[in-house]
Structure 1
């Protein structure tokens, strides 16, 4: 019986072996030797960041034509080139990416419950399900550290991940295991062209800034003395940092959480401090740019919006040409804003820094005469950004508004750039309460005008001009007649002699809303020798109107080029618009923001075939970020910016009124920053200055 069983099993084994031998010959597939060769090019991390289960699978996909030579996320261009060599293929540029932590830690980032389970962020998030003060807060259990196969992440003493960019291979595993989104993968293109979203860790100042500057990072870099990094952070959102650092209305400071305990951070002064540092350093901090992708974009207008768009597009790889009708770029900042606000050398420094990235200037060319949209298309430009500004001043619409002696504010200011006039003994009436009006008033004070009267139909806080500009106009001697409106300009002997005006009042004086209406019986007259019209600035639409009187673009009711509010794409699909030709009179920082938005849309159009609206875009201040109270240990006085005396201002057009910060004061001001996140903050801010006589523990003031 036993011998029979042995014989039967032996027979079955022999039969199975025979079947397998035949099957191996029939079904045998010879492996392509290139698979092994390609796999040998890879670093062997088997990280899975490429989307395949391992390096062997990725190599097989490359050989099968299912993946490009650049498939390996753990390798750089050297590895991609080696793979391409094995396959006899060419390799495309692969933009490097790195992991980045958006969580800053701080009081409200902490959990409000105890957790004693497995040391894993995902387990903590899933199994407990408790509330956290901040949905984006790092949970600190180190899941990202364990997931990284390249040793690029470690936890700091505060329990926050620290990424070593030199070791990061952008495999994405850390971001994959992070349950809160505190770690993300970023690259040059995605970072430069990213628009704030509701799921970002946004401090209030970042939400209020039109340019979306990463204020907290820049200030912490100043505090650490890392000025080069601070400048790069600043330029990621402000390609004209020296200009914006001088004339930004800095709404970010009005929403700074520091105001809850003392005063907002002097953010604008710190921006200028960083940009001044580079100008004084004797060179420029190198800027990363992608290699040329061979695609051309035209920018019409070399002002803030146009130069901003050029900056972003060049950095992500486009060949950019900037067309402008003037011989020098810089727009309104260079050709109209007085030098005591922005010196020529400052405007030129910012513009030249953008040109040095490889942007091509084409000056002295007027749109509509020397070139058109059609000629730009014929020249091979795949997309066009229109940013021609708002240089035209509308008529006053009152009797005598075209009489000799009535000039517009922009013409007045641009003429001063070439040849300052003598206004000694002259009496000026400036109509309007815009920043242009304040610039005219301040300039007239420097030109020895006998009297400067500004007519504003609003109360001071409702004026269009920045509060600081109004104060400086008054300091130099301008009389502002609030709640007044001109009714006629009177002339005699070939010149103006007076302006007739009437008082105005709001429908609801307490709330001061709406447009004030004239008050009958309040008519008055002010004598003058010159009238400056500064009521507004609007775009000149003549170049955009054909012989038939029709515009190439859809036009808004206020006479600007219409476009999608998010993408800035016009009714002509490959043409985008930004700055004041789109928005009407606005600030330089808003124009800079438009330039980046347009660059994002152009990049998407040319790479994806469509300019898409971002999902969950942050357009208003997120309510949860407005805190009513904080646990901050020290109050520190805001830095006092030094200014040249008023008497001295009357004799100079060249010297800036505001002076730069001293390095020690800049660092102390930076220490006041609470390093805010969405709801978190650093309650220990300024502790290193606790011994200073002007720094007080908060409880000592209660």
Structure 2
């Protein structure tokens, strides 16, 4: 029985072997030898980051034509070139990407409970939603560390993942297992063009900054002595840190959480310190740029918005060309904003950093006269960015407003210090409540004249920076608030004075409504010159066709070109707009921000044919991030920035009013930063200075 069973099994096995042998001859397919050759080029990580189950599958996909030679995430350009040689093709540029952690909170977020279970981030997130009050921060169980096949991630003492940029191969496994999105994979293009999202770990200062600068990170880097890293962090969002560090009114400081405890961090001062460090060193930090993509973009206007857009486009590989009407580039930064606020040498240094990236500029070219959208398209430009600014100052709209010696503020500032060098014994009246008006007041006072400023609102309603108003007053100018011109007095065709009246709000206590004239309050001020600085408007003439119809949809509120709020794409798909040509009169950091947002839109348009809708953009301050109460251990006095004396200001037109600070002072101010996350903060900030005589414990101060 046993023998017969064995015999049957033997016969069945022999038959099956014969059938398989025959089938193998019939069905046999020769493996393409290139598969083995391609697989031999791979580092053998089998990480799956390419999307295929292992290196063998990836090699097969390349040979079949379903994948490109540069598909391997664990390998670099050399491996891609070797594979391309085997396949007889050219290897394309592949932008390097690495993992990064957006959470710096560690144990600083309040604990909801003590988790005792499986040491796994995803399990904790699924079961409990995480152990901390912050729903987007790092859970800290180290799941990302466990799945990394390249030993590129470790947990620091705070339980926060730290990525080794040199070891990371961007396989994406860490991001896949992270349940909160604290770990993300990104590259230079993504980093430069990223728009803040409501699910990012955003400190209030980062939310308020129009350019979305990572304030928390660059201050930390500066404090550790990594000034190069701090500058690179700033330049991910702002290519004009020197100018912004001098001109920005710092809206970020108004929302700094430190204000709840004592005084907000001097973010603006630290921004300038880092930027000045590079310029004062005499050498420029090298900025990486992707290889040229062949996509040409025309930029109309070489002011902050145009320069910003060109900077970001060039860094991600596109080929921007700036067309500028004036002979100089820099917009109002060059020749309009006074030297004592923004020296020419500073502007020149900043601009050269952008030109050195390979940005081409053509001056003396006027949009609407020398070039048009059609002519640019015919030259091969795939997209156009309009950043012509707001240079027109409207007339006062009162009797004799066109008399001789009635000058608009932009013309006055362009001429002062060059054509206008002495105003001693003259009387000058400035009309307006803008920063431009205060520039005129301060500049005229420096040249020795008697200056009166008519301001049609109360001081806190002025659009001018409060520091600029203070400095104008310090120079001896008479600031008349709640005063509005009614007519200009003329003798022999020239200005002799100005009549004005008092104005009043509908609700004087709340200062609401439009101020209205108060009858019987007319007064006269003698004047040799009247400078109009009420506003700056956009010249829309170049945006009209031969029949006087607009080339694009216009915005009645701003007077500029209308566009999508996020992409800045106009009603003409290949035309984008930014800066004051879009917003109307605005601050420099907004122009810089517009340039980057437009670069993002243009990038998607020229590479994909359309601009994707931004997902979960952070458009306003996130309510949960605004804390009512907080406790800090140490209080450190806010830094005092040196300034030249009022007498010195009267005797110089070029020396900056605000001086520089030294590193140790910057480091101490940086220690006041609470390293805020969305809801967490470092209550022990400044502990390293606890023994200093000017540092106190906050609890003792409250008591």
Aligned position for 2:581? 581
Deviation at 1:614, TM superposition (A): 0.6
Provide the residue aligned with 2:394 in structure 1: 394
**SS state of the match for residue 472, structure 2?**
helix
1:106–1:680 Cα contact (<8 Å) kept: no
CA distance in 2, matches of 1:341, 1:471: 14
Query: After superposition, what is the alpha-carbon deviation per residue over 1:654-701, rounded to whole angstroms, capped at 9, x for unaligned?
Result: 100000111111110011110111111111111111010000011111
Q: Structure 1: how far apart are the matches of 2:4 and 2:544?
A: 104
Q: Return 5+ residue gaps in structure 1 as ranges.
A: none
- 1:77 positional shift: 1.1
RMSD: 1.2
Query: Kindly tell me: are residues 128 and 561 of structure 1, through their superposed partners in 2, closer, same or farther at Cα, counting changes over 3 Å?
Result: closer
TM-score (norm 1): 0.98
1:615 aligns with 2:615: yes
1:110 and 1:137 in contact (8 A); partners too:
no
1:483 aligns with 2:482: yes
- CA drift at 1:106: 5.2
What residue is the counterpart of 1:653 in the other structure? 653
Aligned-pair distance for 1:426?
1.0
Aligned partners of 2:106 and 2:138 also within 8 Å:
no
Distance of 1:269 and 1:58 partners within structure 2 = 52
Q: Measure how far apart 1:220 and its partner are.
A: 0.3
Task: Identify the range of structure 1 (251-260 vs 364-373) with the bigger mean alpha-carbon deviation.
Answer: 364-373
Counterpart for residue 556 of structure 1 = 555
SS in 1 for 2:443: helix
Report the CA distance between 1:417 and its aligned residue. Answer: 5.1
CA distance in 2, matches of 1:36, 1:700: 72
- Residue 229 and residue 283 in structure 1: after superposition, are their counterparts in 2 closer, same or farther (change >3 A)? same
Structure 2: 5+ residue stretches without partners: none
Q: Take 2:354 and 2:513, find their aligned partners in 1: how far apart are those partners?
A: 42
1:381 alignment partner, SS class: coil
Give the corresponding residue for 1:466. Answer: 465
Report the Cα distance in structure 2 between the residues aligned to 1:130 and 1:614, rounded to whole angstroms. 27
Residue 363 in 1 paired to residue 363 in 2?
yes
The 3-state SS of whatever aligns with 2:641 is coil
Contact residue 107 and residue 680 of structure 1 kept, 8 A: no
Residues 227-306 of structure 1 aligned to structure 2 (within 5 Å): 227-306=227-306
Distance across 2 between alignment mates of 1:107 and 1:402: 66
CA contact (8 A) 2:145 2:154 kept: yes
Q: Partners in 1 of 2:222 and 2:142 — Cα distance?
A: 29
Residue 131 of structure 1: how far off its partner (Å)? 5.7
CA distance in 2, matches of 1:385, 1:654: 33
Equivalent residue for 1:29? 29
Q: CA deviation at 1:107?
A: 5.7
Q: Distance in 2 between matches of 1:35 and 1:213?
A: 47
Aligned to 2:523: 524
Show CA shifts across 1:159-207 (max 9, x none).
1111110111111111111111111111100010011010100000000
Task: Output the CA distance in 2 between the equivalents of 1:69 and 1:265.
Answer: 49
State the partner residue of 1:676: 676
Q: Is the Cα contact below 8 Å between 1:108 and 1:134 reproduced in 2?
A: no
| Counterpart Cα distance in 1 of 2:128 and 2:202 | 26
Looking at structure 1, the residues matched to 686 and 78 of structure 2 have their Cα atoms a distance apart, in angstroms, of 46
SS at match of 1:468: helix
Instruction: State whether residues 690 and 696 of structure 1, in contact with CA within 8 Å, keep that contact through their aligned partners in structure 2.
Output: yes
Instruction: Say how many residue pairs are matched.
Output: 701
Q: Secondary structure at the match of 1:47?
A: coil
Task: Report the secondary structure of 1:357's partner residue.
Answer: coil
- 3-state SS of the aligned residue for 1:418? coil
Q: Distance in 1 between matches of 2:77 and 2:166?
A: 15
Residue of structure 1 in register with 2:101 after alignment: 101
Q: What SS is found at the alignment partner of 2:24? A: helix
Q: Which residue of 1 aligns with 2:497?
A: 498
Shift of 1:156: 0.8
Structure 1: 4+ residue segments shifted above 3 A: 128-131
CA shift, 1:130, in A, is 5.5
- Asked if the contact 2:106–2:158 (Cα under 8 Å) also holds between the matched residues in 1, the reply is no
Q: TM-score, normalised by structure 2?
A: 0.98
Q: Cα gap change, 1:347/1:417 in structure 2, threshold over 3 Å: closer, same or farther?
A: farther
For 1:127 and 1:434, locate their aligned partners in 2 and report how far apart those are by CA, in whole Å: 56
C-alpha displacement of 1:269: 0.6
C-alpha distance in 2 between matches for 1:614 and 1:419: 49
Deviation larger for 250-259 or 537-546 = 537-546
